[in-house]
Structures are given as structure tokens and as C-alpha cells.
Amino acid sequence: MSKKLTPDQIAQYERDGYVCPVDAFSAERTRAWRDRLETFEHAQGQKMTRGHNFKPHLLFPWVDEIVHAPEVLDAVEDLIGPDIRLFHLTVWPKDAGSGAYVSWHQDATYFALEPACHVTAWVALTDAPIEAGCMEVVPGSHKLGQLPHGEMQNPDNLLSRGQELAVDVDRTRTAYMPVKAGQFSLHHTHLVHNSRPNRWHDRRIGLGISYIPTWARCTSPTRVTAMLVRGEDKHGHFDDERRPVEEAGPQERAFHAEAVARFRAMNAGETENKTAVVKR
């Protein structure tokens, strides 16, 4: 018996590669998390955007609270089982009226996971209607497997390596995944998706949380970290991640820096293996 998702939602995920929306948190609780993120940004004089948006669950207890929340993990367990690691997390902010966007891509491209079985929970800290540049997907495209990507470096592209599909995929029938603050969506690592610039009146902020079953492994020669968030790990494919205690404290910053450096090294290696560099 499933813990959170209905049989129809599980069937949709298997058929289309995504489920949206899924209810999780109250508006008040979600607003408090947004306030903490923006207070930190203001104190640092730096927004958590491209280059500064990796693995915040290692820095902030409030993000750690989200990634361990049963409101999210129960749905993830329905898809990948009870033993779960958090492989990666990225903050996805788009200011109102900015040109920030995410190109058409698949999450699995630079993750070096075997098998490619991770599920992303996109947790909304703000409303993300179509006008704000919510995710747009190609239903069923996860069944195509891994597709080649190129690097199209553009400072407005929120993807760290500017990755973009290097082959044509039929996008005549796409679907949007609008969510309200406190809701989340789920999508498969091979689902082809993008998001457009924010043309709404408010900032759009979401957390893209990549969960994997503990039996999945990373094939990169660089050993990376991942956080056990539910169940047990009998496989030992990853080094454990330290849960934060103090908000962006010295120990948190040191561990975060090491984990991000390892992730980037793995990511760079996968670029050599999987990406056809395309010049435009």
C-alpha cells in the first residue's frame, strides 16, 4: 500500500514521468522558509542563484527540515522504496522580470548514477504559475533514456554547465507543472523539461531535491557525498553527509565546501564523457 500517492498518481509517474501537484506544507510554514532564505541572501549581499545554489541542505537547518519531511519522503518512497539518500539539491530562483531560464535538458546528464533511477521533488517556496516560469515537460520522454546534450553557455541559463539537448525531441505537446507555495512536483531523471523566464509579479523560488534509492551508485572515479534521509544503507556507495546544526556556521560551511567541490569534480568528469560540445 502506498504512503502518500494514489494509484493513479503512481501510474501517471510511470506513464508520463511526472506527478504534479502534490500537497505538502502550509502557506505559513512555507513563507517562514522563504523569509529565512531571503534574510540570508540580504546578509550575504548575494542571491542564491547560479554558482551559489548547490547543496543548501548542508548549510541550513530549515532546508534539512524540508528534505527530511515525511510530507515529501512518503511520496518519494512510493516511487523508489523505503531506503533513500538525498543525492543533490539545487535552489531555483527567478526574479520577476529577469531573463533567467532553464534550457531543455534531462537531470541525469551529469549525475553518473547507475541505474538512472533518481526522482526529483521540486518543492515550491513561492507560487510558481505558468507566468512565473514553472516547469514545462515533454510527457513520456523519460522512456527515451539518456539523450546527448551540448553546452550553450549563457549567463541567464540557471543550469550550472548550460547543458541543453543536442537532439530534436517532439515538443508539439508539452505540459506545464504549476505549483503553489507548499506544494511540490515529482519527475523522473530522464524526463525532458525546461522552464521559461519569470513574467509574473513575484519572485519564483523552488528547491530541486534529487532522491535516490540507497542501492544506486555513482560511477564517477570521484567519490561523492549523499545524505541518508530515510531507512538504512547496506551498500556504502557514498560518503555520509553531515546534518547542519548552526545556520551557515563554520563547520557547516567547511563541510559544504568539500561536498560541493567533490560534486563539481564528478560533474566535470561527466562533461567529458557525455556532452557533445556545441558552439552557437
The long-range contacts involving 160-163, CB below 8 angstroms and separated by at least 24 positions, are 160/50, 160/51, 160/54, 160/267, 161/110, 161/267, 161/271, 161/275, 162/103, 163/103, 163/105, 163/109, 163/110, 163/275
In this model, does residue 87 exceed pLDDT 50? Answer: yes
Sole residue written with cell 560540445: 277
Give the domain ranges of the chain: 7-274
0.85 surpassed by pTM? yes
| Mean pLDDT over each residue of the chain, to the nearest integer | 93
In this model, does residue 225 exceed pLDDT 60? Answer: yes
Superfamily designation of domain 7-274: q2cbj1_9rhob like domain (2.60.120.620)
Least confident range from 119-128, 149-158, 244-253, 269-278: namely 269-278
Sole residue written with cell 541550513: 60
Residue-wise pLDDT for 43-62, tens only, equals: 999 888 776 789 999 999 99
pLDDT at 203: 96
